[in-house]
Chain A
Amino acid sequence: MATLEINDLHVSVETEGGPAEILRGVNLTVKQGETHAIMGPNGSGKSTLAYSLAGHPKYTVTGGTVTLDGEDVLEMAVDERARAGVFLAMQYPVEVPGVSVSNFLRTAATAVRGEAPKLRTWVKEVKEAMARLEMDPAFAERNVNEGFSGGEKKRHEILQLELLRPKIAILDETDSGLDIDALRTVSEGVNRVRGSGEVGTLLITHYTRILRYINPDHVHVFARGRIVESGGPELAEKLEAEGYEQYVKGGAAE
């Protein structure tokens, strides 16, 4: 069973005033089949956690370990992490002009699966996955994220999640900027993947709204660069009622 273990992770970022520590000792274990919601106020470092796990070069790991089934994730290049089974659905997916969605998806699937998917079954697989996410088939011929609406970008991220079938899915504010219909469609996509029982999900969000559609097993409150409280779904209800105020006292966002 795939397990992602984050141990005392410290991450800093280069600023004009020198390196600034953003993550200050994160501890978290995500097992295949589990869903963990990470909730926290803006600036608490939850997106930094997502990008650090994916290996964004802007972030420097200054301490701690991250392992996937015992393998050192921090030693891996960005693409190696993806092939090892770590997937990051981005809050702001990047436009890649000149590369069509269909070409991109096939190249990614080939890289992650280790061989090119058979063309005929692949076309069907993509078509069906797109239909489930209520995406127009013409979408496949557009350039990656170019001119996509906010909702289209997020559907496209979840489409990749469905096709690439990672062991660990990190969803970075996938709910932000979505209207209620898009949120439902996207959540259903995430739930289909979770339903397989083969993915561990790290759901990063600012709002409790998405948790009405995706029920987490564990909820963690993130503040000042670390997890400050963990609990079950009831913790989300408490946050909904009380907000983050009690966690940010004494200056959180920096």
Chain B
Amino acid sequence: MAKAQTPSPAGAAGGGAVAVAAESTVATRMSAPPSFDVADFPVPHGREEEWRFTPLERLRGLHSGTAKADGSVKADLSAPDEVIIETVGREDARLGRAGTPVDRVAAQAYSSFEKALVVTVPSERVLDEPIRLTVHGEGGVTFGHTVFELKPFAEAVLILDHTGDTVRAANVEYVLGDGAKLTVVSVQDWDDTAVHVSQHNALVGRDASLKSIVVTFGGDLVRIHPRVSYAGPGGEAELYGLYFTDNGQHHEHRLFIDHDSPNCRSNVAYKGALQGQDAHAVWIGDVLIRARATGTDTYELNRNLVLTDGARVDSVPNLEIETGEIAGAGHASATGRFEDEQLFYLMTRGIPAEEARRLVVRGFFAELVQQIGVPDVEERLIAKLEAELEASIA
């Protein structure tokens, strides 16, 4: 486990990389600079750094411009009365503030949506009920764009739920005003045929805090790209993720934290369990600490638990530090197997095989499930985990 400490981050290891650079290489590792226009990105061939883990043929044309918007989703939004809900046109100035698409599919999404949803929590409002947005795929290709904005000192919990079947490219923005607090849970519980590619851009205001929990179970291919930048000093971002990747599923989570303001903090913890033939999970954790981001404190962790043969994990943490004046920076990545010896040990204590497996998986995810803090979502998640495990035993 690498724990790099300033001012001498050299010696960090563990499959990741720590670079001390005068200029960011995170940006140059992408094949094209960020842009809202899909035409600015060449059609990927699969060897680009940002696409090399993704099976392009399963994107169903989202990457090549051949996917046409011929499908639909049913969206249900419920929110407390003080929340302002608007459907706006592409020209609305509030769109695109939290970040710019960094790859062709994100740009395709931005170039293709017709109307965007803008949800605003006014200043200093502290919501006592979560905002819930359910997106249910009804087949075909769909594009979308959603902005959640918390004005200064507002506090909210947001639950984004994805079910059904669609081939979808849709980006989400979280704009946090100064001192705002947002907890967002994004659940990808798609049918096993769905494709979902989404860039989540968060712009964290001065002294604001974001807690994001990304939960991915379903889909044929899900590729989520949570990105955080800071609009002022003192911001905080906690990014948690859970994924349970089954037979043939491709789940990819690519995180990027751009520490561009002083005295901000970030903490990333993603955990995944995999089972079955050709289950493939990809986790990329990029953290960039820019020269002006003194006093930064960041840590990122990825853990994977491989339950059966035939599953594959790619886990790539990457930390770039352009200043020595930071509070702390580190990362860790590990992939372990549920070993026959662990199973044997638990069984010699009378615990049946299925129960042993449940015990291990539940234990593995427990600390992250507890982070959610929304009881009905936690319960559903635990039930879902149990169901996935049942399926693996059957």
Chain A residues near B (Cβ < 8 Å): 54-57, 77-79, 81-83, 87-88, 90, 93-100, 103-104, 107-108, 111-112, 143, 160, 164
| List of B residues within 8 angstroms of A103 by Cβ | 359, 363
* Residue on A nearest B341 in the bound complex, by CB: A94
Contact of A98 among B340, B351, B355, B366 (CB under 8 A): B366
* Residue on A nearest B353 in the bound complex, by CB: A79
Give Cα A55 to B347, complex, Å. Answer: 10
List CB contacts (< 8 Å) of B313-372 with chain A: 336, 339-342, 344-353, 355, 359-366
Give Cα A99 to B336, complex, Å. Answer: 14
Contact of A90 among B345, B346, B364 (CB under 8 A): B345
Assess the A111–B345 pair: CB atoms within 8 A: no
Give Cα A94 to B344, complex, Å. Answer: 9
* Residue on A nearest B343 in the bound complex, by CB: A78
Contact of B364 among A82, A95, A98 (CB under 8 A): A98
Contact of B360 among A77, A81, A87, A99 (CB under 8 A): A99
| List of B residues within 8 angstroms of A164 by Cβ | 349-350
Chain B residues near A (Cβ < 8 Å): 305, 336, 339-342, 344-353, 355, 359-366
| Chain B min CB distance to A169 (Å) | 12
| List of B residues within 8 angstroms of A82 by Cβ | 347-351
Give Cα A90 to B349, complex, Å. Answer: 11
**Can you list 13 contacts pairing A with B, beta carbon distance less than 8 Å?**
A54-B348, A77-B353, A78-B347, A88-B348, A90-B345, A95-B342, A96-B342, A97-B360, A97-B364, A103-B359, A104-B359, A112-B350, A160-B349
Give Cα A104 to B365, complex, Å. Answer: 16
| Chain A min CB distance to B352 (Å) | 5
Assess the B360–A79 pair: CB atoms within 8 A: no
Known contacts A107-B351, A108-B349, A111-B351, A78 near B364 by CB under 8 Å: no
Assess the A100–B363 pair: CB atoms within 8 A: yes
| Chain B min CB distance to A79 (Å) | 4
| List of B residues within 8 angstroms of A95 by Cβ | 342
Assess the A79–B351 pair: CB atoms within 8 A: yes
Assess the A94–B349 pair: CB atoms within 8 A: no
**Most B CB within 10 A of own CB, among A87, A93, A104:** A104
Contact of A94 among B342, B351, B365, B366 (CB under 8 A): B342
| List of A residues within 8 angstroms of B336 by Cβ | 97
Give Cα A99 to B360, complex, Å. Answer: 6
Assess the B359–A107 pair: CB atoms within 8 A: yes
Assess the A96–B344 pair: CB atoms within 8 A: no
Give Cα A87 to B347, complex, Å. Answer: 10
**Most B CB within 10 A of own CB, among A93, A107, A112:** A107
Contact of B348 among A78, A98, A100, A107 (CB under 8 A): A78
Contact of B347 among A79, A90, A93 (CB under 8 A): A79
| Chain B min CB distance to A1 (Å) | 22
| Chain A min CB distance to B370 (Å) | 13
Assess the A79–B350 pair: CB atoms within 8 A: yes
| List of A residues within 8 angstroms of B360 by Cβ | 96-99
| Chain B min CB distance to A135 (Å) | 17
| List of A residues within 8 angstroms of B350 by Cβ | 79, 82-83, 108, 111-112, 164
| List of A residues within 8 angstroms of B340 by Cβ | 57
| List of B residues within 8 angstroms of A97 by Cβ | 336, 360, 363-364
| List of B residues within 8 angstroms of A56 by Cβ | 344
Given contacts A94-B342, A107-B355, A112-B350, 6 further A-B contacts (CB under 8 A): A77-B347, A79-B347, A79-B353, A96-B345, A97-B336, A98-B305
Assess the A111–B364 pair: CB atoms within 8 A: no
Known contacts A57-B340, A78-B344, A94-B341, A99 near B349 by CB under 8 Å: no
| List of B residues within 8 angstroms of A94 by Cβ | 339, 341-342, 344-345
Assess the A79–B363 pair: CB atoms within 8 A: no
| Chain B min CB distance to A115 (Å) | 12
Give Cα A54 to B353, complex, Å. Answer: 15
Give Cα A209 to B380, complex, Å. Answer: 54
The 7 A-B pairs at the shortest CB distance, nearest first, are namely A98-B363, A111-B350, A108-B349, A82-B350, A78-B347, A98-B364, A94-B345
Give Cα A88 to B351, complex, Å. Answer: 14
Contact of A111 among B339, B342, B352 (CB under 8 A): B352
| List of A residues within 8 angstroms of B355 by Cβ | 107, 111
Contact of B363 among A77, A99, A111 (CB under 8 A): A99
| Chain A min CB distance to B308 (Å) | 16
| List of A residues within 8 angstroms of B364 by Cβ | 97-98
Assess the A112–B346 pair: CB atoms within 8 A: no
| List of A residues within 8 angstroms of B363 by Cβ | 96-100, 103, 143
Give Cα A78 to B353, complex, Å. Answer: 9
* Residue on A nearest B361 in the bound complex, by CB: A98
